[in-house]
Amino acid sequence: MAKTDLRLTVEEDAMLAGEQGELVQWAIRMQVDVGRFFGADRLVPVTSAHMVGDMEVMGEPGLALLQKIAHGAARFRVPMTTNARCVDFAAAERLLQDPGMVCKEKELIAAIRTIGAIQTDTCINYQSVYQPHFGEHVAWGDTGTVIYANSVLGARSNFESGPAAFAAGITGRTPRYGFHVPEQRRGTVLVELSAELEDLADWGALGAVVGRQCNDYWQVPVIDGAKPGSVTSDRMKHLGASLASYGSLAMFHMVGVTPEAASVDAAFAGREPKQTIKVDDAAIADVYASYPADRDEIDLVVLTGPQLSLFEIKLVAELLDGRSVHGNTRFIITTNQMNHAAATALGYVPAIERAGGMVLVGVCFYLMGADVMRERFGWRNVLTNSAKLANIIGGYRYHPIFRRTRDCVEAAVAGRLQS
């Protein structure tokens, strides 16, 4: 097999031999092992890394590992940004979050900042922090960031989970396999889109339809039929997050929109589609119908997953239109510190807060110990415009209801879903 034929540069050989210290050796060892597994021929330099490390999945052993590394001398050699985390310290008490988790979160942040991370706490780094150019190799962690970078920007990344992105930050490289290789980026599945998509949630629903039928990291759907002018960054953001959540997908093409899909033929680059998925209005309606209301009263309305852009925050403030959130309903949105600062200065955040809504910073709702909050507040259902959140939050024993953005805001005001 050609599998073990991974060639290293002189410098990389030295790193593997331990000449740049134990941590660098440990990091490149993992990269070589993963690269060999997937048939990588070499490592490629990356310009940035983006790390997911929430306490919920890392556990104590993961935290202890990072703390041990922080005590050593090695530091990230390319910019390392951090993904959405579990705690907004300004809101933790109001949300009755577990003090133990809040404390661990502080320790985790201290460790990764010591190693040199830029604490952005965002899952929309591609909107707020850095947009890699076409063909640029990066090592990003959160699945939504990877699919956006690959598909919309034409940059190159695999899903680099916590330890893998960490290793890439330490070595400044990543193994060249998967979506770093042009052949893997060709389309495999044709999506014939005839549905009218307007709201952000409609685009998330499209991702759900495709992801449910095409659940395999190595598949690349080619979406044909998007109306010119109908696609925005936020819509692609919801589409990508949903494709990654429902289908573990890391890349899509959209004909006439994304950079490697000037035509259907260009997107497939000689491959025959192995499957065709038709998405009409009925298919989109079916996604909403798959998350029916358990009752009219809504305990919680959450707009998150991905964090909201400045445009989305402005939209929420406008939809509220000076009205107040119902007394029996909680209304929560999440964003990053950059958008929060801008939206505060522009008056959108104060408007949402005056209405009784909460604007959380640097977090994503499902990472926040969602099951503990559910028990402490007695929440049963959650209404959202995020197809991704609807997919995940059932695992924390919420009843998820998925609707369009305007319906979510109206329900927050009325305390109940309007029929």
Partner 1 sequence: MTRDAVDPSVLELRGPPGFGRPLDGEALVSSDPFSPRYDLDRSTGLISRKGHAVEGHNLAGKILVIPAVKGGVAAGWAFYDLMRRGIAPAAILCRETNPVFVQGAVLAGIPILHRLEPDPVTSIRTGDRISVDPTSGRVVVSRFGG
Helix (H) or strand (E) holding 314: helix 310-320
Task: Considering the complex, state which of residue 67 and residue 248 has its C-beta at the smaller distance from partner 1.
Answer: 248
Please count the other Cβ atoms lying within 10 Å of the Cβ belonging to residue 100: 10
* Pairing label, strands 43-45, 173-175: antiparallel
Spell out a b/e string for 52-62, using b for 16 or more CB atoms within 10 Å of the CB, else e: bbbbeebeeeb
Residue that has been written with the tokens 């960054």 in this structure: 233
Task: Considering the complex, state which of residue 128 and residue 143 has its C-beta at the smaller distance from partner 1.
Answer: 143
Helix (H) or strand (E) holding 341: helix 337-345
Task: Considering the complex, state which of residue 89 and residue 217 has its C-beta at the smaller distance from partner 1.
Answer: 217
To partner 1, the closest distance from the beta carbon of 23 in angstroms equals 14
Rounded Cα distance, 113 and 361, in Å: 18
* Cα angle 211, 177, 268; round to 5: 50
To partner 1, the closest distance from the beta carbon of 59 in angstroms equals 4
Task: Considering the complex, state which of residue 169 and residue 357 has its C-beta at the smaller distance from partner 1.
Answer: 169
Task: Considering the complex, state which of residue 134 and residue 218 has its C-beta at the smaller distance from partner 1.
Answer: 218
Strands (E), 315-406: 330-335, 358-361, 381-384, 399-402
Residue 269's SS3 state is coil
Comparing C-alpha atoms, which of 26, 50, 70 is closest to residue 160?
50
Comparing C-alpha atoms, which of 87, 9, 91 is closest to residue 43?
9
To partner 1, the closest distance from the beta carbon of 238 in angstroms equals 16
To partner 1, the closest distance from the beta carbon of 41 in angstroms equals 14
To partner 1, the closest distance from the beta carbon of 120 in angstroms equals 16
Task: Considering the complex, state which of residue 163 and residue 400 has its C-beta at the smaller distance from partner 1.
Answer: 163
To partner 1, the closest distance from the beta carbon of 315 in angstroms equals 27
- DSSP notation for 102-160: HHHHHHHHHHHHHTT-B----S-HHHHT----TT-B-EE-SHHHHHHIIIII--B----
Please count the other Cβ atoms lying within 10 Å of the Cβ belonging to residue 133: 10
Task: Considering the complex, state which of residue 39 and residue 415 has its C-beta at the smaller distance from partner 1.
Answer: 39
- DSSP notation for 153-188: I--B-----HHHHHHHHHHSEEE--GGGSGGGGS--
To partner 1, the closest distance from the beta carbon of 101 in angstroms equals 15
Residue 163, both tokens: 């330890």
To partner 1, the closest distance from the beta carbon of 297 in angstroms equals 26
Task: Considering the complex, state which of residue 399 and residue 404 has its C-beta at the smaller distance from partner 1.
Answer: 399
Comparing C-alpha atoms, which of 411, 401, 419, 381 is closest to residue 288?
401
> Which positions lie near partner 1, rule CB under 8 A?
1, 3-4, 30, 33-34, 36-39, 52-53, 57-62, 65, 141-143, 158-164, 178, 215-218, 244-245, 248, 395
Nearby residues of 9 by Cβ (< 8 Å), 6 or more positions away: 42, 43
Task: Considering the complex, state which of residue 65 and residue 129 has its C-beta at the smaller distance from partner 1.
Answer: 65
To partner 1, the closest distance from the beta carbon of 87 in angstroms equals 17
Task: Considering the complex, state which of residue 59 and residue 99 has its C-beta at the smaller distance from partner 1.
Answer: 59
Nearby residues of 65 by Cβ (< 8 Å), 6 or more positions away: none
Task: Considering the complex, state which of residue 83 and residue 384 has its C-beta at the smaller distance from partner 1.
Answer: 83
In contact, 16 and 8? CB cutoff 8 Å: yes
To partner 1, the closest distance from the beta carbon of 211 in angstroms equals 11
For CA atoms 386, 387, 392, 394, give the dihedral sign: positive
To partner 1, the closest distance from the beta carbon of 193 in angstroms equals 25
